[in-house]
Structure 1
Amino acid sequence: MTSPQRLPISLTPLDVALDALLNGLEPVAPVGVTLQEALRCIAAGMPPLPACPPRDTAVADGYAFCARDLVGASSYSPLALSAPPVWVEAGEAIPEACDCVLDSDSVDLSGPLPQVLAEAIPGQGVRRAGGDIAAGCLLVEAGRRVLPRDLLMARTAGVERLNVRRPRLGIVNVPGGSVTADLIAESAQATGAETVSFTAAGRDAGSIAAALDDGACDLLLIVGGSGVGRTDAAVTALAARGKVLAHGIALQPGRTSAVGRLSNTPVVVLPGAPDHALAAWWTLALPAVDRLSGRRQRKTVNLPLARKIASHVGIAEIVLLERKQDTWTTLAVGELSLGAIARAEAWLAVSGGSEGFAASAPVDAYMLRD
């Protein structure tokens, strides 16, 4: 039986499809999660941190002193003490009247009176109050991804939970494309989103439609079945349950992608081929995830091109890049082999209104590797 799915005569420009997908989309509400759960999520508003350490502390094991009391002390002119000095371990608060720490080799305890054999300067061997974390600073700025070093700060400050925006992504795998579905699920997890995956009972429209659930997610991804093959029916299933905003995107690879709505939930239908699915993920699904996460605009790296990039007018083409000697070297344009995908360090989309870029032209590319 011939599939009822057909691409329209005129493909939808990528920017038009993306605008339709993002229309009305707002960041999800912040939630409090454990530090382990917060890793890679997008931070929401957080209260300022207290000073850390709260008091001056010893950086190393040794004896605590006031530096001005040690002026002139040396091995040739030891300074005798009337009482044993106070020993402090690294990380301990030093006594109020002290402002430096000397190691054990600088103090002689073998005689009847303790003797100091070296001078010191204020702050020597000491971490000042607020030296690690200044009072009032933010652990993570809202809209930024939580990194391992942020968790170090949190643990040091005694923070146990962080506020993040963590959208829920539902991923429906159309049978026959599990490799691509795993790729998209792992890509989604890398954004810090909470993902739930389902596999439709079959490739027919009824089975796919039955697997669609808008109540359990903030963004729904359907992987596979977006084309015009005899067993492709994902877009037909979406039309039966919701609304198709665009099917057939002026994107290479990824032209059989679709965007739509299931009730109020945005939907992206990604092709089953890995390269086509990645193109749709980068240009359609990932911007939706970023909008839901409240993420700041992703940073790009600007470098000149080693060679020119020629592109077809009317279709946005994905370009894979590798960095060599502070230039972007093109690995693939429009047709993305798995080898090129594995090697690529960055990507960019040549606009459908552009014929490409000249050699040595500076271009902004999104990094694929952190």
Structure 2
Amino acid sequence: MEWCRSRPLFLPLDQTLGKIGAAMPPLAHAQPIRDTAKTDGWACRALDLAGASAYSPLPLMVIPVWVEAGAAVPQGCDCVLDADLIDCSGPMPQALEEAVPGQGVRRAGEDMEAGRPLIIAGHRLSAADLLAVRSAGIGEIAVRAPQVRLIDVAAPASDTSTGHLIAELARASGATVFDIETVTRDARSVAQALGNAAGDLIILIGGTGAGRADATVEALAARGALIAHNIALQPGRTAAIGRLDGVPIIALPGAPDQAFAAFLALVQPAIDRQSGRSARRQTVLALERKISSTVGLAEIVLLKQEQDRWGPLATGDFSLEAMRLAEAWLAIPGASEGCAAGTPVGAFVFDDPR
């Protein structure tokens, strides 16, 4: 299924942390624009301090200027001395230490050169990114945050735990998630909930199995939206994919572990593509123990790092404890019988800062 990138939108800085940055014009001016003080202190000219020491205080003919950290250094000054290095108790200020030009000063252009990208497109925005943007005096950032509709047919409105899990995972991946919609478990209700496709991605939760009340796939087929069902994935074998009015649809099983695995395999890559996110990095470590896998099924494996190796926590069937403790995951291809102990494998860490 083809995935189109979502349109970039500009958001205030306080709404962008963790989202995926989109391309922006490069920095017009080097930062900082002027020399600024690194710390609170006295702005002076280094040449005026030659020969000063605690044993031989040097009277200053020019009265130093007090500056706060981050403030522009006054014209004619080229260093900033700590507060206790200028004695102002007498009739004339005295320097108690020499300095060199640039001491205590952040030079103009030292932080970022003109022409540098303000943010790195395709990367998650960090607190340091926001600091750089604020320092440049910019109040908004362009981001790609796919608009995700979440329709929960797995449980009544009083029990939407799987829906909340998927919503939180989607938000952590950089998406904007609308409120969780709940519908009764019949094909007509599900089809009506789909309505006119809106957003960049629709996620259905539950009703994908073979039970009498599992009507999600029937509803997708009735709308002419179904592309594939019963994907060879474990956990998550009853997941389905489709498209309605050009909007991709992914239907996840209702059980938390099944939905979690199918999210990793199907939804997260879709959000990454729509947000233009850079390829996720894999951390390669040797396996601490053997992983056995069933040929013909792609199996999701949860991992926890044990010293310098990946320790398998669960394969093909996840407990809540394994989901809670997992630090990374990998997919064993359907053509593989697994991996022997000591085999180097690349796993995707859950807490990927990029």
Q: TM-score, normalization: structure 2?
A: 0.93
In structure 2, what is the equivalent of residue 315 of structure 1? 297
1:235 to 196, 217, 242: 217
Q: Pick one of 75, 78, 86 that aligns with 2:57.
A: 78
| Match in the other structure for 1:26 | 4
1:128 aligns with 2:110: no
In 2, the alpha carbon distance for the partners of 1:216 and 1:275 equals 27
Task: State the shift of 1:147 in Å.
Answer: 1.8
Q: Is the 8 A contact 1:198 1:211 kept in 2?
A: no
Q: Does residue 279 of structure 2 align to residue 306 of structure 1?
A: no
1:38 aligns with 16
Give unmatched runs, 5+ long, in structure 1. Answer: 1-20
Distance across 2 between alignment mates of 1:285 and 1:196:
16
Does the aligned pair in 1 maintain the 2:304–2:312 contact within 8 Å?
Answer: yes
- Counterpart position of 2:140: 161
Corresponding residue for 1:251?
Answer: 233
**Within-5 A mapping of 1:49-64:** 49=27, 50-64=29-43
Judge conservation of contact 2:36–2:69 (CA < 8 Å) in 1.
yes
Rounded to whole Å, the distance in 2 between the matches of 1:181 and 1:112 is 73
Matches within 5 A, 1:122-271: 122-176=101-155, 178-271=160-253
Name the CA distance, whole Å, in 1 between partners of 2:235 and 2:165: 16
Q: Give identity over the alignment, percent.
A: 53
Conserved 8 A contact 2:235-2:258: yes
Deviation (angstroms), 1:245 = 1.2
Give the Å deviation of 1:367: 1.0
Q: Is the 8 A contact 1:200 1:210 kept in 2?
A: no
Instruction: Please say if residues 320 and 340 of structure 1, whose CA atoms lie closer than 8 Å, have aligned partners that are also in contact.
Output: yes
Q: Counterpart of 2:60 in structure 1: which amino acid?
A: L
One-letter identity of the residue aligned with 1:288:
A
Mapped to 2, the partners of 1:335 and 1:67 lie a distance apart of 69
The 1:127/1:339 distance shift into structure 2, 3 A limit, reads same
**Cα separation, 1, equivalents of 2:185 and 2:74:** 73
SS of the counterpart of 1:69?
A: helix
Moved more, 104-113 or 90-99: 104-113
Q: 1:250 to 1:110 in 2, by over 3 A?
A: closer
Name the CA shift for 1:214/1:277 in 2 (closer, same or farther; >3 Å).
farther
Q: Report the number of matched residues.
A: 348
Q: Residue 306 of structure 1: CA displacement?
A: 0.4
Report the Cα distance in structure 2 between the residues aligned to 1:109 and 1:243, rounded to whole angstroms.
Answer: 80
Structure 1 residue identity aligned to 2:121:
A
Deviation at 1:71, TM superposition (A): 2.1
Q: How far is 1:139 from its partner?
A: 2.8
Moved more, 207-216 or 277-286: 207-216
| Deviations, residues 218-254 of structure 1 (Å, cap 9, x unaligned) | 1111100000001111000001113211111111111
Instruction: Name 2:317's counterpart in structure 1.
Output: 335
1:143 to 1:41, Cα distance in 2 relative to 1, 3 A? same
How far off its partner does 1:53 sit? 2.1
Map Cα deviations across residues 73-130 of structure 1 (whole Å, 9 max, x no partner).
2233332333422332322212232211123332233444433221111211111112
Per the TM alignment, residue 262 of structure 1 is displaced from its structure 2 partner at its CA by 1.1
Contact 1:43 / 1:141 at 8 angstroms: preserved in 2? yes
- RMSD across aligned positions (CA): 1.7
**Aligned counterparts of 2:196 and 2:18: Cα–Cα separation in 1:** 25
Aligned residues of 2:197 and 2:244 also touching (Cα < 8 A)? no
Give the conservation status (yes or no) of the 8 Å contact 1:28–1:166: yes
Segments of 5+ residues of structure 2 without an aligned counterpart are none
Contact 1:214 1:220 in 2 (8 A): no
The question of whether the paired residues in 2 share the 8 Å contact of 1:242 and 1:263 is answered with: no
Local SS of the residue matching 2:197: helix
Residues 107-116 or 314-323, more deviating:
107-116
Structure 1 residue identity aligned to 2:97: A
Q: Is the 8 A contact 1:107 1:115 kept in 2?
A: yes
- Corresponding residue for 1:16? none
Q: Structure 1's 101 and 267: CA in aligned 2 closer, same or farther, altered over 3 A?
A: same
Which residue of structure 2 aligns with residue 90 of structure 1?
69
Check whether the contact 2:152–2:181 (CA below 8 A) recurs between aligned residues: yes
AA aligned to 1:147 is: S
